[in-house]
Amino acid sequence: MYPQVLFKNRKPDRITTIEEYQQNGGYEALAQVLKNKSVKQVKQVINDAVLLGRGGAAFPSGVKLETVAENAPFPRYLVCNADEMEPGTFKDRVLIHADPHQLIEGMILAGYAVLAEKGIIFIRPEYENAARILEREIDIAKQAGFLGSNIMGSGYSFNLDVHRSGGRYICGEVTAQLNALMGKRPNPKQPPPYPTEKGLWDQPTVIQNVETLCCIPHIMKNGADWFKNLALTKGAAGTKIFGISGKVNKPGCYELPLGVRLSEIIEKHAGGMTAGSEFKACLPGGASTRFLTKEFYNIEMDFQTLKNAGHRLGTAAIMVFDHKTCMVGATLNLMEFFARESCGWCTPCREGTQYIKDLLWRIENGQGEESFIPLLKKICKYLWNAYCAFAPGAVSPVESLLTYFEDEVMEHIEQKKCPFKT
Ligand code: SF4
């Protein structure tokens, strides 16, 4: 059994109350920090801990906090990105349901690190239960003196609000999310200026993912070295919530050290492949990552190892496919999502995602031609020139389909039908 950090208070059937959270050391980090640590020291500890953003981009959290200059104008904002819309990813919802005060404390600490006056939790509209839990627990934290004016007599004041997203995938992208919060069309914006310089209403704004923020109280309480030592591989730091779905016996969310092997996640924690199923491939980190095939079955699951192998850990939402899964059909399913969710701002993505979806549909339905393969590869390349990271993410499964499963695509074309359908 590995140490449980983010899930240490998790219960099978209900949320952790503020009393239970405090009995297990909750809000101690906040008390210590507000009493003994300057904002500079807090940022230093988070930096030393090498906390990488858990929302998919893996950007160093400490670096993000440090980019809010000391002399930056006030007010400053902290936004928690809880707009979890990546297909297959559900870890943030589970975290909020399990232990909402962990997130609230993480937000107050991150807010203090940049002297933000207000925090906003931007949440997916389908997560209405989670939003209500957070609103209720924010009130409770306020009554307990952890939020509001002059927190614990420190002179620092911070308030939290919950904001429901309009429900489009692109609202999870940082700059689009800021536009959405300001009531504008939520299309992405290329920096500079970066949100940490000019974000919400042109004020310095830090955006962090739910899981990233939940790590912060533990780092502040136990130190950077402790956090780094939680990981199994050199250079990685901390635990990770792996959400696993698909052809396994025990789908769900598991907190495991970064660097744990994929084979161990599937066989030990997720209960192995379902009866009669053989591992064929998985998406390691949500719909916008590349398929990992059998040759990667023993890979160490951390950000750097996957990057070195030409892959991405993303949100660590593992979708497992077995030998009976049609990879063309699975990829088509993902492309239907991406084509629908393209924000439509730029032509390569707006037109390209539709075009790829149509070609895959024709291949899957027996209307494919050999020329579609080079055509698909070409369009995928064009999508790397789209305005934001949505398009390269959308083509990741398609490109890896053509890399690892070109034979299967050809079978569809030659047989003029899906070979997996009887
Ligand atoms: S790449 Fe797609 S999501 Fe991003 S701006 Fe262009 S159309 Fe919108």
Q: What is the pLDDT of residue 165?
A: 96
Bond into 193 cis (ω within 30): yes
Whether 161 contacts 118, CB under 8 Å:
yes
pLDDT (tens, 9 = 90+) of the chain, 422 residues, equals 899 999 999 999 999 999 999 999 999 999 999 999 999 999 999 999 999 999 999 999 999 999 999 999 999 999 999 999 999 999 999 999 999 999 999 999 999 999 999 999 999 999 999 999 999 999 999 999 999 999 999 999 999 999 999 999 999 999 999 999 999 999 999 999 999 999 999 999 999 999 999 999 999 999 999 999 999 999 999 999 999 999 999 999 999 999 999 999 999 999 999 999 999 999 999 999 999 999 999 999 999 999 999 999 999 999 999 999 999 999 999 999 999 999 999 999 999 999 999 999 999 999 999 999 999 999 999 999 999 999 999 999 999 999 999 999 999 999 999 999 97
Distance between Cα 347 and ligand 1 center (Å): 8
Closest ligand 1 atom to 343 CA: 8
CA–CA distance, 207 with 64 (Å, rounded to integer)? 9
Nearest to 100 by CA among 80, 74, 75, 76: 80
Distance between Cα 159 and ligand 1 center (Å): 33
**What order do you get walking across the sheet with 239-246 strand by strand?**
252-257, 239-246, 317-322, 279-283, 292-293
Whether 227 contacts 212, CB under 8 Å:
no
CA–CA distance, 372 with 375 (Å, rounded to integer)? 5
Ligand 1 pocket mutation, candidates 83, 351, 388, 395, criterion most atoms within 8 A of CB: 388
Cα-based distances in Å from 180 to 53, 68, 90, 167, 185: 21, 22, 22, 10, 6
Distance between Cα 346 and ligand 1 center (Å): 5
Q: How far is C-alpha 255 from the geometric centre of its chain's CA atoms? A: 14
Q: Residue whose CA is closest, atom 6 of ligand 1?
A: 346
Sign of CA dihedral 360, 364, 365, 371: positive
Q: What is the pLDDT of residue 108?
A: 98
Question: Which residues form the pocket of ligand 1, taking CB atoms under 6 Å from any ligand atom?
Answer: 170, 187-188, 342-346, 349-350, 386-388, 390-391
Half-sphere CA count of 55, side-chain side, radius 13 A = 21
Ligand 1 pocket mutation, candidates 349, 354, 356, criterion most atoms within 8 A of CB: 349
Distance between Cα 189 and ligand 1 center (Å): 10
Provide the Cα torsion 196, 202, 208, 213; round to 10°: 90
Ligand 1 pocket mutation, candidates 185, 387, 395, criterion most atoms within 8 A of CB: 387
Closest ligand 1 atom to 344 CA: 7
Q: What is the pLDDT of residue 1?
A: 87
